[in-house]
Chains A and B, each alone.
Chain A
């Protein structure tokens, strides 16, 4: 059952993309760790971390593509799931600091000592264990998405109204996480991490491993997502995106279908966030900014929604552009991003990958048609002349 699911998921583009990701996961750490800094092929550590971050963004965009591209749910709150996964990882990293914090408290993170707290809040228990934190990375975003989706999809909230409430959700979480008494470090968030799984988080080896982990997570998610969208379930998703009531009248429980896709997508976003936090070294409520979620939508749109590969390329292109652009003209980045979105919507509505696929398909159809003409209709035009 599972094997047939996986075999079906592998069409050619997905295989190529997965192969590239696996190659990157091996090659980049190798070039970083095994070559001397002055070697022409040496990849500096800052680049490893930068691209590792891009890969987590790509995973977030892929997660959004599952719900937006295939299911028609334009979630403007996906960065919230990313941030929740990030916070779960951040809590683990905070507990790993132990007595090495500024206040030297072996149990309480610095910000709790600063707030004069005497005991660890109940929801911080267990986060000293990696397996528990790793579980929470998927469970917390998944659970919130499930509860949110349960109510939203059952009440048949659709289209722009759904987008608005996802935006409200991330904003509500932003406000909640800003509060000091929530117990997540208030507006400073969680930072000053030291170790992950016993390895120094600043060390080159750890950073290279985190890059590899991000590439592997992205490759795995790509296979799973591809399996989902190519299964009959995926066909139902596209069906309900295009004609929801027709799907209902065929006997499908549309709300269950949406809920499953939304929850899986939120879990993937959580994993992305968990890989992001150790690579950037901080998580704070700013990650819940409504604008962040909108940026994810732009990456996905630029790359091409509903193509799986597109959002990955889009996330890397736009963020690469952002890194270069913000270094050169920091104050104009938002204008450039907005302009990019307008241009893509007007001229490349299918995104970079969608447009490329469209042209390839057209050329193939044209070739097939002309071949057919050569075989069958060769005599006719001559006769006509």
Chain B
């Protein structure tokens, strides 16, 4: 596996973490290539969210290696640094800044220098304005750019959050259950949106909705009890007897 390390965008090897004796991740190994769109499935408590916490620096692993772009050791960095390196994260619950307008949400997310004085004297340039307008169009929120994020519908908040991630211009995007609570139409549109996004960067999607994953049509990793149970195409994984037993049910 080590020879794969330099080429891959994200490289986790033998990562374990436990909370109060409960092993959330058990020697998990996982690789994402540049430009790959990957789906992760698995029952509750399989360690999907914990894995994202490890990658984004929220949780430190007890043991194991986590490398980004070959040689950047993510276990030594905190959330802000990792975000600046180019890893974006979308939470399970849509988390946008409700007291800000849609526009301001995107302006805050924009990949610009984020220091105290840089933000204090920041002025919206034409370039930034064009970029925000472009993202608004991508996430279909142009008409609502002056509304408070609190007044958006659930699905629109999810899209705004995806838009914020785009503004961040990450190389790797971690998306936690993007279609939870969405209508079927919104779900289908989100699949299109994610595929569009994955053309220029790597995306890892955690999802329960098998129909949605089928729509994405990508390589699937099934986690259970903190390690990888099976990996491959959706048909391969969903026919795996272990996956059926642990997750899909008979």
Contacts and interface: CB of A to CB of B under 8 A. Distances in A.
Do chains A and B stick together as partners? yes
Interface of A: 1-2, 4-5, 228, 231-233, 235-236, 238-239, 242-243, 245-254, 256-257, 260
10 contacts: A1-B121, A231-B119, A232-B120, A235-B107, A236-B108, A243-B96, A246-B96, A249-B79, A250-B83, A250-B109
A106 B116 CA distance: 46
Interface in B79-94: 79-81, 83-84, 88-89, 91
A44 to B, nearest CB: 43
Given A235-B108, A236-B119, A251 B97 contact: no
**What does DSSP make chain A's interface, helix, strand, loop or mixed?**
helix
B121 A251 contact: no
B109 A242 contact: no
B129 interface: no
Interface string B66-106: 00000000000011110110001101000111111000100
Nearest to B170: A251
B201 interface: no
A5 B121 contact: yes
A273 B168 CA distance: 43
Contacts of B99: 238, 242
Contacts of A235: 100, 104, 107-108
Interface residues of B, number: 32
Contact of B80 (A4, A239, A254): A254
Contacts of B95: 243, 245-246
B97 A252 contact: no
Interface in B184-208: none
A152 B187 CA distance: 42
B242 interface: no
B247 to A, nearest CB: 28
A2 B111 CA distance: 23
Nearest to A5: B121
Contacts of A242: 97-99
A261 to B, nearest CB: 9
B250 interface: no
